[in-house]
């Protein structure tokens, strides 16, 4: 099986370190959220109340806020115009909860103001969904059947997933910048509380960096496999 040895080495050299980084990023966001969930907001404002205040200040009363189950399952759904906050964010008067809620409100503002990267990301979601489900099966099938065209199509679809994750980075970092800015200007968090919220949001952003790094490593490995087959 000498053909497979170089790709095993690429997995160890590229993919495995990327996976370890992604795991570390996940640990950091959970750790920072747990730590600053214990820091109560000085004004007693919960995550839901903070998000509602931010939306009100931006004239976005049509956006609803709902509670969802799970931990760190918070997201903004542009299709239904709803911010969904996990229970420990929605109901908790902590700096971590307010930071996460403000971040999701930042996403709602992005859609309302037609922020270019978020519009681009939304436009490529259909092909990204196809790529995430079909890319690897097509590549494997192409290798076993020795059909170079299938391998190429699979890699192109996987590349679309990488592009989606790349576009996601400015979207997430921008939402966090909006959150920190409005939290400071509105007085929802005090100056002494803002650094903690920044740490939680930075840790959350690292998870998206980790996902991109893993996908890039996998893409390089897949390109090497295709080149080797040729």
Which residues are marked as active site?
104
Distance CA 10, CA 49 (A): 48
**Alpha helices (runs of H) in 113-193, residue ranges in sequence order:** 116-123, 125-145, 148-186
CB 168 within 8 A of CB 159: no
DSSP class of residue 41 equals -
Neighbours of 203 (CB within 10 A): 21
Q: What is the DSSP string of 66-103?
A: EEESSSS--EEETTTTEEEEEHHHHS--BHHHHHHHHH
Contact 154, 134 (CB under 8 A): yes
Report d(CA 101, CA 95) in Å as an integer: 10
Helices first, then strands: H and E counts in the chain: 9, 3
Assess contact for 182 and 57: CB atoms under 8 A.
yes
| Pairwise CA distance, residues 216 & 96, whole Å | 30
């Amino acid at each position: 099986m000498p053909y497979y040895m170089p790709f095993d080495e690429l997995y160890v050299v590229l993919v495995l370190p990327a996976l370890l980084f992604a795991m570390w990023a996940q640990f950091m966001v959970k750790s920072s959220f747990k730590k600053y969930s214990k820091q109560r907001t000085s004004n007693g404002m919960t995550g839901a109340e903070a998000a509602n205040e931010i939306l009100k200040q931006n004239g976005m009363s049509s956006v609803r806020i709902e509670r969802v189950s799970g931990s760190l399952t918070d997201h903004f759904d542009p299709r239904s115009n709803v911010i969904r906050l996990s229970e420990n964010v929605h109901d908790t008067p902590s700096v971590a909860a307010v930071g996460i809620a403000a971040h999701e409100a930042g996403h709602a503002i992005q859609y309302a103001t037609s922020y270019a990267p978020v519009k681009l990301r939304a436009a490529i979601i259909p092909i990204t969904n196809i790529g995430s489900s079909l890319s690897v099966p097509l590549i494997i099938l192409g290798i076993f059947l020795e059909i170079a065209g299938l391998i190429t199509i699979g890699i192109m679809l996987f590349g679309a997933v990488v592009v989606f994750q790349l576009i996601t980075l400015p979207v997430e970092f921008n939402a966090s910048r909006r959150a920190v800015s409005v939290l400071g200007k509105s007085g929802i968090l005090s100056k002494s509380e803002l650094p903690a919220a920044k740490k939680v949001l930075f840790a959350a952003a690292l998870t998206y960096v980790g996902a991109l790094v893993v996908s890039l490593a996998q893409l390089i490995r897949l390109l090497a496999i295709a080149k080797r087959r040729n």
